[in-house]
Structure 1
C-alpha cells in the first residue's frame, strides 16, 4: 500500500489562476466538519488574465480544486471525499469551466519517523500506513501544511488517463 503526495505540476506555467479564493475559502474550512458551510458558499471566481490559460486538472493553491473530469474518477475511488462545485470564469474570452473544491477526510497518519522544523513545519513526511485506514484519498492530519495523499490504486488509475497538471511524489512509509 504505497501512498503518493498529490501536488500541482508547476511546469504548466499558464495554469488557470482563480482570483479571490483566499477571501472565500479559509484554510480552517477545508475539513469535512465544515461540509454544510462549504456547500452554502458561492464558489464563483474570475481567473487571472493571461495570453494563454491552461485549464489543468488539479489546482493546489490557494485551495485544492479538481476539474470536472478528474472529479469523476476520484469519487469512484474515494466516495467519502467532499466535493463542492465552483466555476472559474474568463471574462475576456467569455469562457467558464466547472471545478470542484476537494476536501478529503483528514486522518492522523504521521509516523513517529516524520521530521519537523523548529518552527513546527513538516520537513520530512513519513506515513504510518496502519493509520490510513486504506483510504484512497486523504488529508494528512496533525500538520500545519495541507498535504493530500493518494493511494497507489488511485494514482495508477490517474496515470493511465490523459490528465494534466498533476504531480505525484511517493511518500515515505
Structure 2
C-alpha cells in the first residue's frame, strides 16, 4: 500500500515572500487569473522565495512545477511573475488548478460546520494518482503520493511540510 501526504505550508518559515494584489474572490480564484500575472513584492532583503507558496493561492516554483507536471499532466497552469520592487529581480511561479479525485473514505470524520475533522482516504479510489486535490471537502487539500514527496525532497524543495494521511482499513474477505 502506497503512503499519501498532505502538502501544507511550512509555518516554521516566517520570512517567506507573500505576494499580494491579485484581488481574487474566494470562489474560482484560478479562473479569475489571466494567463500571465505580474505581482510586485517587497522582500526588504529578508524574505525568501520558497518553492511552495500557499497564499494568496497555491503557487509553485519552476523547479517544483517540472516535477509536479510529470506526476499529474492534467494540471492546468497560469504563470505568475513576482517582481521585487527594490531589486527588479523576477521570480517565476505557477498557479495551478489541480484535478480533484473522489477518494474520501466513509471513515472520514467531519465537524458540524462541514470541515474535515479526520481525513481518511480510500486508496482503491485513488488508483495511480500522485498529485491531486481531495474531492467532496471544503478544504483545498492537496495530496501527494510517497513517490512525488520523495521527488520533492530529493531535490531539496522547500516551503512545505508533508503530513501523512490516514488510509481506510480494508476488510479481509
TM-score (norm 1): 0.88
Measured after TM superposition, the shift of residue 51 of structure 1 is 4.5
Give the conservation status (yes or no) of the 8 Å contact 1:14–1:50.
no
**Structure with the largest fraction of helix:** 1
**Structure 2 gaps, min length 5:** 168-173
Instruction: Please list every run of at least 4 consecutive aligned residues from structure 1 whose deviation after the TM superposition is greater than 6 angstroms.
Output: none
Displacement of 1:50 in angstroms is: 3.8
Q: Deviations over 1:34-57 (max 9, x none)?
A: 5xx65x444221225544110000
The number of residues matched between the two structures is 166
Do the aligned partners of 1:65 and 1:99 also contact (CA within 8 Å) in 2?
yes
What is the rounded CA distance, in whole Å, between the counterparts of 1:141 and 1:83 in structure 2?
19
* Gap change, CA 1:25 and 1:81, over 3 Å in 2: farther
Written as runs of structure 1 = structure 2, the 5 A alignment for 1:33-44 is 34=31, 38=33, 40-44=34-38
Q: Which residue of 2 aligns with 1:138?
A: 132
TM-score normalised according to structure 2 size? 0.88
Q: CA–CA distance in 1 between the matches of 2:73 and 2:141?
A: 19
Q: Does 1:14 align with 2:15?
A: yes
Cα RMSD after superposing both structures: 1.8
Question: Which structure would you say has the larger Rg?
Answer: 2
2:94 counterpart of 1:100? yes
